[in-house]
Chains A and B, each alone.
Chain A
């Protein structure tokens, strides 16, 4: 029930911000479409803690800020190597361990790795992530596990 409510509010806010109309006709059409989407979401059974991770919502903004900082640093490193050329990269390929317990935690970790330029998650089997990196140092930093710890802290 909680997830249905948050999904309804999210969809309503999304519709409102995208349309910007406030006439009665438009609002009722919007409500109908939101309810229709809710019905479909229930029918295909996707309304749960994974599609609506509300238990994470108050911890996520802090993590996003930290991730933004990491993104900035990684971008600068990759752009530098682009202009300096091939001799300044050291591509590496390895598997690392994810310590998250839930599926959603692992997915957040894998996607955080992928979105940072310079590292891409190629595969995720069980708790082993296969990662390709542009620099050897990237992998060392990942293995040191700061991002892993931060994601783990998100889930409990």
Chain B
């Protein structure tokens, strides 16, 4: 059996798309499984970086047109630049509004107490 270049590219593309989809699902599962806001954000990071990258590389391999490949590359670069900005804005907003992260077991109780005090502070008198 002979493998021509088109078949190889097709297989590679399918492989990238498959891995990308798996990583997207992993990100979603992570959002559901992780305990608090900050850890969930890390799960989203997977979808943002490697999953998007893999899917875009897979799409690049699907299309022989150079102009389309460059546009997909631009989308990839833009996602990589915009995502950290967005996640940082989200994390900073949460932190400055008094949401304390749940840390290791030893400190969970501690942070719960801190959460309680900040909740009381925020309540209208």
Contact = CB atoms under 8 A, between A and B. Distances in A.
B33 A82 contact: yes
Contacts of B33: 82, 85-86
A56 interface: no
Contacts of A18: 71, 74
B43 interface: yes
Nearest to A90: B104
A117 B34 CA distance: 14
A17 interface: yes
Given A71-B50, A82-B33, A111 B85 contact: yes
Interface stretch (B6-14, B95-103, B117-125): B95-103
B112 interface: no
Interface in A131-154: 132, 134, 136
Interface string A84-101: 011001111100000000
A21 to B, nearest CB: 11
B88 A92 contact: no
B38 A132 contact: yes
B41 to A, nearest CB: 6
B49 A130 contact: no
The size bracket of the interface on B is 35 or more
Interface residues of A toward B: which range? 35 or more
A126 interface: no
B53 to A, nearest CB: 8
Interface in B40-99: 41-43, 45-46, 48-50, 67, 70-71, 74, 80, 83-85, 87-88, 91-92, 95-96
A132 to B, nearest CB: 5
16 contacts: A75-B50, A82-B26, A82-B30, A86-B33, A90-B104, A93-B101, A115-B45, A115-B84, A117-B42, A117-B49, A118-B45, A122-B88, A123-B95, A123-B96, A134-B42, A136-B104
Given A17-B67, A75-B23, A117-B50, 4 more contacts: A90-B104, A92-B104, A93-B103, A122-B95
Interface of B: 23, 26-27, 29-30, 33-36, 38-39, 41-43, 45-46, 48-50, 67, 70-71, 74, 80, 83-85, 87-88, 91-92, 95-96, 101-104
